[in-house]
């Protein structure tokens, strides 16, 4: 898809100073509800025509514009159920509750899948939101069981949860994305009083803090460890432009992850790290004026390179929360406002189009030529989360979705 023409505006322009208003939030949610109604129809049609059984959640569109559905074990399976919980939270409409429960049920079996680190993305984004909004004891049990399963991937010698299995090029790979799955472990301690989950999460966060970040506060994507000694074997940026480049979504994962870790622990070093990452992103000369980054910060001056709306959506959501903890809170919230304004005005799908997805122009895995300039479910998920957080701020409510 060809990127819509985006106005190049300075930070002193009217666009940059515009506050994302309550009316903008309402408009964005109205659009999202209509698109999601369309998505239900497209999912039903795709399931009917699909030759592969067990597909449950929309992930993206293929090169022909056809809907891609994934099975529960796909790392993106929990995002669409989470979006439905967000729509229910905003609207209080029972129809979204019923659909959220339906799509969440499809993911619950992943609670015992120990072959992946993506338990937080799959379970916490779906079941976790369900428990937060309903306090259903069944959801609580699924969260706890999922945390137990995720904990089996923790290696004390390394001090981290292993990310990928069956990859010959690494012995014990840990990716920056894994910071996002720690929220599930913190939740399990809060629900059970068992501190073992908390200790694993903190140890992983500390090890990542020590080894993943460069002097300029950007992060590598993958750190490979010796599973016996914990020694760092190799540092690289697998989904970025080069090993020493700054993959945009990876920076967003780090920002969100350390903001969340500060919320759960009160440890100032996590707040300081989140602020450092925020500074790297927001003061980066490679960040376009519309606040939606190129897929890697090191390709900004290369012709024909693409944006990543998913990185922008994740960053906006994280900045709204970070803004409630930091002395720089006003500037962080203002930056998040600008991102939402840009996403709503220039990156939304056409009403009734894109099979019901919300945002266009995300980049999944550019080096692998996978999901290039397409809508992706996690972009939509964090966009809706950012909208909810903005709405809470406007209403004088805590921005944390707990």
Judge contact between 376 and 364, C-beta under 8 A. Answer: yes
Q: What is the pLDDT of residues 85-95, one digit of tens each?
A: 999 999 999 99
Q: Is 259 annotated as a binding residue?
A: no
Two structure tokens written together for 379: 């972009």
Q: What is the pLDDT of residue 18?
A: 62
Q: Is 237 annotated as a binding residue?
A: yes
Judge contact between 320 and 335, C-beta under 8 A. Answer: no
Point out the residues of the chain with pLDDT beneath 50: 1-17
| Catalytic one of 74, 177, 290, 308 | 177
Longest CA pairwise span in the chain (Å): 56
How far apart are the C-alpha atoms of 59 and 74, rounded to whole Å?
9
Q: What is the pLDDT of residues 175-213, one digit of tens each?
A: 999 999 999 999 999 999 999 999 999 999 999 999 999
Q: What is the pLDDT of residue 167?
A: 74
How far apart are the C-alpha atoms of 253 and 250, rounded to whole Å?
5
Question: Is 118 tagged catalytic?
Answer: yes
Q: What is the pLDDT of residue 6?
A: 38
Kind of pairing between the strands at 160-161 and 173-175: unpaired
How far apart are the C-alpha atoms of 58 and 257, rounded to whole Å?
25
Two structure tokens written together for 199: 């200790």
Q: Is 177 annotated as a binding residue?
A: yes
Q: Is 249 annotated as a binding residue?
A: yes
Question: Is 216 tagged catalytic?
Answer: no
Burial label for 104, CB within 10 Å (0-12, 13-18, 19+), is buried
Q: Which residue ranges form the domains of the chain, and what is each CATH number? A: 25-395 (1.50.10.10)
| Catalytic one of 118, 290, 308, 380 | 118
Torsion angle of the four alpha carbons 312, 315, 321, 323, in this order, in degrees rounded to the nearest 10: -90
């Amino acid at each position: 898809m060809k990127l819509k023409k985006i106005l190049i505006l300075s930070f002193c322009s009217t666009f940059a100073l515009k506050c994302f208003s309550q009316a903008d939030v309402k408009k964005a949610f109205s659009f999202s509800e209509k698109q999601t109604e369309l998505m239900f129809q497209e999912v039903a049609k795709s399931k009917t025509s699909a030759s592969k059984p067990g597909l449950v959640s929309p992930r993206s569109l293929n090169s022909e514009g056809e809907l891609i559905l994934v099975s529960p074990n796909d790392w993106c399976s929990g995002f669409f159920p989470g979006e439905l919980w967000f729509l229910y939270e905003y609207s209080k409409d029972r129809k979204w509750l019923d659909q959220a429960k339906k799509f969440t049920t499809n993911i619950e079996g992943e609670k015992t899948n120990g072959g992946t680190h993506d338990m937080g993305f799959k379970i916490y984004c779906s079941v976790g939101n369900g428990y937060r909004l309903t306090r259903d004891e069944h959801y609580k049990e699924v969260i706890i069981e999922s945390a137990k399963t995720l904990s089996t991937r923790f290696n004390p010698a390394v001090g981290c949860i292993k990310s990928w299995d069956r990859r010959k090029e690494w012995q014990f790979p840990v990716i920056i994305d894994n910071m996002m799955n720690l929220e599930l472990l913190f939740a399990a301690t809060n629900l059970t009083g068992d501190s073992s989950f908390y200790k694993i999460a903190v140890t992983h966060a500390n090890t990542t803090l020590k080894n993943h970040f460069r002097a300029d506060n950007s992060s590598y994507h993958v750190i490979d460890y010796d599973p016996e000694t914990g020694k760092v074997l190799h540092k690289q940026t697998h989904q970025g432009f080069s090993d020493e480049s700054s993959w945009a979504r990876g920076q967003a994962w780090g920002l969100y992850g350390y903001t969340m870790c500060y919320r759960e622990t009160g440890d100032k070093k996590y707040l300081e790290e989140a602020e450092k990452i925020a500074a790297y992103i927001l003061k980066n000369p490679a960040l376009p004026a519309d606040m939606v980054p190129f897929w890697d910060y090191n390709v900004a001056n290369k012709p024909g390179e693409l944006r990543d709306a998913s990185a922008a959506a994740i960053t906006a959501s994280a900045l709204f929360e970070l803004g409630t903890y930091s002395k720089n809170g006003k500037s962080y919230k203002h930056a998040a406002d600008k991102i939402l304004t840009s996403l709503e005005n220039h990156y939304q799908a056409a009403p009734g189009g894109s099979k019901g997805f919300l945002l266009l122009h995300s980049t999944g895995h550019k080096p692998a030529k996978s999901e290039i300039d397409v809508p992706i479910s996690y972009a939509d998920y964090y966009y809706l989360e950012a909208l909810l957080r903005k709405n809470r701020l406007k209403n004088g409510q805590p921005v944390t979705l707990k």
